[in-house]
Amino acid sequence: MVLAWYMDDSTTDQRLPHMSPGALVSMETVAALGVNHWKVNFESYETDGEFRKLREDEGYTYMDVIEISPKKLPSYDEKIKMFYEEHLHDDDEIRLIIGGTGYFDVRDKADRWIRIECSQGDMISLPTGIYHRFTTDSKNYVKAVRLFKGNPVWTPINRSEETDSHRARQNYIESFSLVGCT
């Protein structure tokens, strides 16, 4: 089962769980934010019929693999910092974790951070316009399949006052009725 929880306010090491006591969040709460989760047979994802069908159904035509580790990822420190800056994208962010463990943090309707723990076999999609960030856990290792509809664009749009009125953000707020919330 995938675990999600509200984060504590501590600003120490981002790779620690930062779980507020008694703060588990259900996947229904997470789904209400437009975040979807599937279990995928990660060992045979390349040939797995279900995974292929999911890709076809959702139109995820592009696929590559990213290995996030100090040794494997060029400019590792810079990239880790970039992933952990609060941002949104003009497109959905879809990942299947095939190695290691990572945390996808997403903002809930009241602007609180929910941390979603993803390990081997967890596939997650974050909707266009959701504020989020990513980090590995203390083991500093994640291997993930990245999916995309069409030609991939990974550019993060970091949160600022301007991004609140960004079209992708506005569409997100309308779709998930966050109107009136921060």
Positions touching ligand KMT (CB under 6 A) are 66, 83, 93, 95, 102, 134, 142, 144, 154, 156
From the list ligand KMT, Ni ion, none, pick the one residue 95 interacts with, judged by a Cβ distance below 5 to 8 Å according to partner type: ligand KMT
Span from 22-30, 59-67, 92-100, 141-149 in contact with Ni ion (CB under 5 A): 92-100
- Dihedral over Cα of 121, 31, 135, 148: its sign: positive
- In the complex, least distance from residue 23 CB atom to ligand KMT, rounded to whole angstroms: 23
86, 61 Cβ separation under 8 angstroms: no
How far apart are CB 27 and ligand KMT at their closest, in Å? 19
86 vs 180 by CB, closer to ligand KMT: 86
In the three-class reduction of DSSP (H, G, I as helix; E, B as strand; rest coil), residue 126 is classed as strand
Q: 96 contacts which partner out of Ni ion, ligand KMT, none, CB within 5 to 8 A by kind?
A: none
The DSSP letter of residue 45 is T
Nearest to ligand KMT of 37, 49 (CB atom): 37
Closest CA to 2 of 146, 140, 127, 104: 104
Span of 71-79, 91-99, 106-114, 161-169 interacting with Ni ion by CB under 5 A: 91-99
Nearer to Ni ion, 101 or 128 (CB): 128
- The interface partner of residue 148, options being ligand KMT, Ni ion, none and the CB cut-off 5 to 8 Å by kind, is none
7, 174, 182 from 123: Cα distances, Å: 21, 25, 28
Report how far residue 161's alpha carbon sits from residue 22's, in angstroms, rounded to the nearest whole number: 32
C-alpha distances out from residue 93 to 22, 77, 180, Å? 28, 21, 25
Cβ 53 to Ni ion shortest distance, Å: 25
Question: Toward Ni ion, which CB reaches closer, 93 or 108?
Answer: 93
H helical segments located in the chain: 27-31, 49-58, 76-84, 167-175
The contact set with Ni ion (CB under 5 A) reads: 93
